[in-house]
Amino acid sequence: MVRIAVFASGSGTNAENIINYFEDHPSIKVVCVFTNNKNAGVIERADRLKILYRVFSKKELFSSDFENILKQEADYLILAGFLLKIPTEIIHSFPNKIINIHPALLPKYGGKGMYGKHVHETVVANKEKESGITIHYVNENYDEGAIVFQESVPLTDQDTPNDVAAKIHTLEQKNFPKVIEDIILKEQ
């Protein structure tokens, strides 16, 4: 059984979608949710779905103990709205096994500080004709890992940042679990 740990900092809609997708999967299982935010909505979702969750500090993230826990508990780390940078040591312990989703078509609108509404506001301010999602492997730099999957959605001049967010959310919900599954099954 391939074990997935999901990392999230916020409400956890993508985490919940991933948990539900793999609930009865014959060879992939979400074993834990990790969050750096003790008030994150993902905690309630994990609790309701009966998935173990752990709250940790930024300091703990950078400890060797944390890395050892991850190596014992998970085969893949999935970042679903996780806002901290993953330490280099963990990246090296999970080569091509840390997968992130970004709410834009990288390389545009990536990097430190470019997440959630900040991305959508910038996309609208720049009068982009499309936006989308990028699923990529995590490396040492924000949003610069090898791209695995992208899908775009057209935008109109009337779209607000909230409209863009809704379109992106639909793409995330539709694609993220399936792409994770494809990556894992291809490796087996």
Say if CB 137 and CB 99 are below 8 A apart. yes
Q: Report pTM.
A: 0.96
The whole-number pLDDT of residue 188 equals 80
Output the six-digit token pair for 148: 């695995």
The whole-number pLDDT of residue 150 equals 98
Q: Which helix (H) or strand (E) holds 176?
A: helix 161-187
The whole-number pLDDT of residue 12 equals 97
The residue ranges of the chain whose pLDDT is under 70 are none
Number of domains comprising the chain: 1
The whole-number pLDDT of residue 187 equals 87
Closest CA to 36 of 53, 52, 56: 56
Residue 7 lies in a domain: yes
The whole-number pLDDT of residue 122 equals 97
- Of 102, 120, 136, 169, which one is the catalytic site residue? 102
Q: Which helix (H) or strand (E) holds 33?
A: strand 28-35
CA distances from 49 to 15, 32, 45 (A): 11, 11, 6
Please confirm, yes or no, whether 102 is among the known catalytic residues: yes
Phi, psi (deg, nearest 5) at residue 101? -115, 135
Residue 128 lies in a domain: no
Residue 92 lies in a domain: yes
Domain of residue 79, CATH code: 3.40.50.170
Residue 118 lies in a domain: no
